[in-house]
Amino acid sequence: MKINFPVGQFGIDSNLNNNAASRKEALSFTDFLNNAIKDANKLQTESEQLNQAFAMGLNDNLHQIVIASEKADIALQFTVQIRNKVLEAYQEIMRMPV
């Protein structure tokens, strides 16, 4: 029995050819880190705005505020852990004898 998976829905590139065009579209590590920091900042800003709206009485949906705060906290923790791992890798490389 043959099962056909819709590879387009999962973001899987069914073309295994590594040509120059696909390499240019690839996201560099620096771009990935910058996007992660921007996303974490965006989540922090949204959480602050919801907290301010709740404090002023404009929003009474406490569940939405708590969920936004937790998303921002998890994104911040993830960003800090990535920073720690990058610094750890850098320090390990610097300790290597030449």
SS (H, E, C) 35-97: HHHHHHHHHHHHHHHHHHHHHCCCCCCHHHHHHHHHHHHHHHHHHHHHHHHHHHHHHHHHHCC
CB 89 within 8 A of CB 96: no
Instruction: Provide the pLDDT for residue 87.
Output: 93
Tokens of 4: 């056909």
- Picking from 27-31, 34-38, 66-70, which range would have the lowest pLDDT averaged per residue? 27-31
Average pLDDT, the chain: 81
CB 47 within 8 A of CB 72: yes
Query: pLDDT digit string (tens) for 72-96?
Result: 999 999 999 998 999 999 999 999 9
R_g (Cα) of the chain, nearest Å: 21
Task: Decide if pLDDT at 62 tops 60.
Answer: yes
Instruction: Provide the pLDDT for residue 47.
Output: 95
Task: Decide if pLDDT at 48 tops 80.
Answer: yes
Tokens of 28: 């560099």
